[in-house]
Amino acid sequence: MTDQQARELLKSSPQKAHRLIFDEYYNYVYTIVFNRLRSSASREDIDECVSDVFSDVFLHYSTDNGYSGDIKGFIAAIARNRSVDMFRKLRVRSVNTVPVDGEEALQLPSADKVDELAEKAETCRALLDAVKALGEPDSSIIMQKYYYGRNSADIADKVGMKPEAVRKRLSRAMDKLRRILTDIGEGR
């Protein structure tokens, strides 16, 4: 299915277009997700990620979204991004845990890592507070860029600015953030 065919079908029958896109690209998406997650995810996690990919495709692929590339590339990009997100989510969930009584469902942090986890949580709180202290739109721009991984054009749409302005604000906000964090580090 070409991008043009998908757009034409999407105009006339969105449900049929979604079904055909799913049928045609399911194996492709599954392969991408499986290759990224096979060493760290369960079968259910992989299936959930594949479902999330198609959910994103159906939500963001439309006849008027301005995307002019091939649908296969669009789907592949979403699959790669979603699988990386799932990998990070799984890694955070499984880091420094020890099974209790042989049951994998109930896991507690290992005793030797509690201090490290507490310090990491404190650092994250300090970083988030410093980002919030920047005020709007700088804090939103930083969160969109580094937490959600969005590009300048996407952020510009969300905050009502031009992409060039977003890049400049991001650069200045990062300088401010660096100064704030340096001051916090020196105060300890």
> What is the rounded distance in angstroms from the CA atom of residue 113 to the CA atom of residue 96?
7
Radius of gyration of the chain (CA): 21
Sign of CA dihedral 36, 42, 43, 47: negative
Buried b (16+ CB within 10 A) or exposed e, 145-155: beeeebebeeb
Q: For residue 30, what pLDDT is reported?
A: 92
Q: For residue 187, what pLDDT is reported?
A: 62
Low-confidence residues in the chain, pLDDT < 50: 96, 99-101, 105-106
Q: For residue 28, what pLDDT is reported?
A: 92
Task: Say which DSSP state 113 is in.
Answer: G
Is the distance from CB of 167 to CB of 143 less than 8 angstroms? no
Q: For residue 96, what pLDDT is reported?
A: 47
Q: Which residues pair with 103 in a beta bridge?
A: 100
- Please report where in the chains the tokens 């990620």 appear, as a residue: 49
Q: Is the peptide bond before 137 cis (omega within 30 degrees of 0)?
A: yes
Is the distance from CB of 49 to CB of 33 less than 8 angstroms? yes
Q: For residue 89, what pLDDT is reported?
A: 84
Q: What is the pLDDT of residues 68-93, one digit of tens each?
A: 567 888 889 999 999 998 888 887 75
Phi, psi of 42 (to 5 degrees): -80, 170
